[in-house]
Amino acid sequence: MSDFFGDDFTAELKTYFLDSLVKEADKFIDLVDDSLWKRIRNEVSEQTRAWAVDAKTNEFSFFAEWLDGFEKRTEGQKEAAEFVKSLKAIKAYAEALIVEKTDSAELAAKFSLVAESRHETLFLHCRWGAQDFAIPLLNVVEISSHLPLYSLPQKKPGLLGVIPFRGEAVPVVNFQDHGFATVDAKNSYYIICEHEGVRFSLQVTETDDLLSLRDSELQNIENHSAMIQASFVKQFFIRENKSIMVLDLEKLVA
């Protein structure tokens, strides 16, 4: 397992590589449509080979190997939607490295395109105080602890305020308005998410590990009256004797 923080300069180079990769992957995702995706796939194949070389240089050996196999894993795809999902997997792996700060065989396995075909989904495990919840990783744009929170001119139910992010004023969800316990958070993070082109942010006190879940592991929350009742929470799962809610981002945006 590589040491992400070997020294400040090395950490900065690694972070720059991952950030750049995420932005380039986003550009490819935006370009894909039903008429162009096969041509774009050829460009991505060339780019993934270059990314693999850079990943190895930055000591992300498992990521490098995963990128080397990307072209072969996607050659049988027949639709643009399949290819977009694969591009999002590249982006999500890079974002996971930023979160996890280490590369490993286990992380590479979580992002296996074969695993995706078995109806597995990757989630980012988070906490707001003592409350555990999970967010689909493919909807996570960035995690930041250095953004100022600005109040809204008029208070709106469900929102804490807005944060500046890449030239936008991104609304921050107020968990307390949705039934979560009040938390005196001196240190918190903002998870910027995106769903169908809409960006919003979640304020959390902690981000934990990445979880790969099968559809069969998810349970409907409506059958468990002891669980917190919120419009954007429909499912949960059990991990190490703890109940972890899965946020329904479509409902949250609505």
Give pLDDT tens digits for 75-125: 888 888 888 888 988 988 998 888 777 888 888 877 775 445 556 678 888
Could you count the other beta carbons within 10 Å of the beta carbon of residue 81?
A: 11
- For the stretch 116-169, pLDDT in tens is 555 667 888 888 888 889 998 878 888 887 789 999 888 888 888 999 988 899
The pLDDT, as a whole number, for residue 194 is 87
∠ CA 151-125-114, rounded to 5°: 130
The residue out of 102, 118, 134 marking a domain boundary is 118
Q: What is the structure's pLDDT at 16?
A: 92
Question: Are 129 and 197 within one domain?
Answer: yes
Looking at the structure, do residues 145 and 108 belong to the same domain, yes or no? no
pLDDT surpasses 50 at 46: yes
Mean pLDDT estimate for the chain? 83
What does the pLDDT read at residue 105? 85
109 near 118, Cβ under 8 Å? no
- Do the domain assignments include residue 2? no
Instruction: Say which residue the tokens 């429909």 belong to.
Output: 234
Structure tokens at 100: 């996890």
Q: Which two tokens stand for residue 64?
A: 């490098």
Q: What pLDDT digit, counting tens, does each position of 55-82 carry? A: 999 999 999 999 998 988 888 888 888 8
Residue 227's pLDDT is: 57
CA–CA separation, 20 vs 58, rounded Å?
13
163 & 96 share domain: no
Residue 174 belongs to domain with CATH number: 2.40.50.180
Separation between Cα atoms, residue 62 and residue 158, nearest integer Å: 41
In a domain, 1, yes or no: no
Q: What type of residue sits at position 20?
A: S
Whether residues 247 and 128 fall in one domain: yes
Please report, rounded to a whole number, the percentage of residues in the chain having pLDDT higher than 70: 89
Domain assignment of residue 21, yes or no: yes
What are the pLDDT digits (tens) for 47-57?
999 999 999 99
Query: Do residue 60 and residue 23 come from a single domain?
Result: yes
User: Please, are residues 245 and 228 in contact by the beta-carbon 8 Å criterion?
Assistant: yes
Residues making up the chain, counted from first to last:
254
Q: What is the pLDDT of residues 180-194, one digit of tens each?
A: 777 776 778 899 998
- 112: CB partners within 8 A, 6+ apart: 66
**Domain check: are 168 and 151 in the same one?**
yes
**What are the helix and strand counts (H, E) for the chain?**
8, 11
Whether residue 143 is found in the same domain as residue 108: no
Which of 72, 96, 118 corresponds to the end of one domain? 118
Specify whether 151 is located in the same domain as 98.
no
Domain that includes residue 62, residue range: 8-118
Tokens of 178: 């949705």
Beta bridge mates, 134: 125, 246
Q: Domain boundary at 97, 118, 139, which?
A: 118
How many domains does the chain contain in total? 2
Same domain, 73 and 197: no
Tell whether 108 and 141 lie within a shared domain. no
Kindly report, residue by residue over 220-229, the tens digit of the pLDDT: 877 665 556 6
> What is the phi/psi pair of residue 235, to 5°?
-135, 160
Q: Is the pTM of this model over 0.85?
A: no
Residue 3 domain flag: no
162 and 94 belong to one structural domain? no
Q: What is the pLDDT of residue 7?
A: 60
Please check whether residue 142 lies inside any domain of the structure. yes
Residues 6+ apart with CB under 8 A from 104: 1, 62
168 and 246 in a single domain? The answer is yes
SS (H, E, C) 114-156: HHHHCCEEEEEEEEECCEEEEEEHHHEEEEECCCCCECCCCCC
Residue 217 within any structural domain of the chain: yes
Q: What is the pLDDT of residues 201-222, one digit of tens each?
A: 998 888 877 787 887 888 887 7
Q: Is 204 helix (H, G, I), strand (E, B) or coil?
A: strand
Is 28 a domain residue? yes
